[in-house]
Each structure stands twice: as C-alpha cells, then as structure tokens.
Amino acid sequence: MQKYVVATADEIPPGQRKIIKIAGKSIGIFNINGEFFAIRNRCPHGGAPLCEGVLSGFVQSPVPGEYTYTRKGEIIRCPWHQWEFDVKTGQSWVDPVKTRVRSYEAKIEQGCSLVNPAEIELEKGPFAAETFSVSLDKDYVVLEI
C-alpha cells in the first residue's frame, strides 16, 4: 500500500468530486457530506470513465407509485449505459456480485502528520508539473493504493 496526497481537503467540497491520475490509474475522489471516498474511473462493464457520470440518489419502491429516495449524492451513474454504482463501496446495483468497481481508501490527514513520518512518500500531485507542496497547517486528502 502506498499513500498519495491527491488534493487539499477544501479543494473538494461536499457533493463534489475530483478525478486524478496517479500511479497510472485514473481515480475519482468524492466528498460525501465531509467523508471522502475513491473509486476507479473505469466502469467494469464497458470501460467508460465512470466517475464523470451523474451523481444522484438511490430510488426504490415497495409498490408501484410509491418511491423511497435515499442516499442522495452517493450513487454514480456511468455516462455510457447508466448503470448505477455505490460510490462508497464500488458495488453496482444491477449486478452486485460480479460487477463492482475498485474502491480505495481516501481519508483526511493533517499536513503535519504527512510531513514528519519518514515512511510516507509524497508523490507528485495532480498538478503534473509541480510537486504537491504540503503545508503543516492544512488538511489533505490522502489516498491509499
């Protein structure tokens, strides 16, 4: 497992996402009500850039004409075939057993905790031309791949 600093925390407000390329992979980072989640930006069904899809809620129905609408902002729909995926787990709704997108752990860490330990290797950030500079007094989104 390698840790990567991929964004400042305030760069991805709640309900927003950021797609980054790191370690040869395109990955979407999502802020859902202050919690961060990451899934691979590649639909397991047809290879589409999944994380570019519409972020929406989950609609269910106990009986025709009645709707329950939950988990607003937690379900992403693939831009190609509109299959729905749970951003928190990577699971698809239509085929939860076989079709799931790889998810990664994303969490917030303080700059000071990132800089000191020698084992944490700081990689180049999303701004390809420059090293991602970490300030001690800011929060960062850290991805484990």
Which parts of this chain interact with other proteins (CB under 8 A)?
59-65, 67, 81-84, 93-95
Q: Indicate the residue among 93 and 132 with the shorter CB distance to other proteins.
A: 93
- Amino acid at the residue 106: A
CB of 78 to other proteins, least distance (A): 8
CB of 51 to other proteins, least distance (A): 17
CB of 64 to other proteins, least distance (A): 3
Q: Give burial (CB, 10 Å; 0-12/13-18/19+) of 101.
A: buried
Q: Are 141 and 107 in contact (CB under 8 A)?
A: yes
Q: Indicate the residue among 35 and 95 with the shorter CB distance to other proteins.
A: 95
Q: Are 39 and 87 in contact (CB under 8 A)?
A: yes
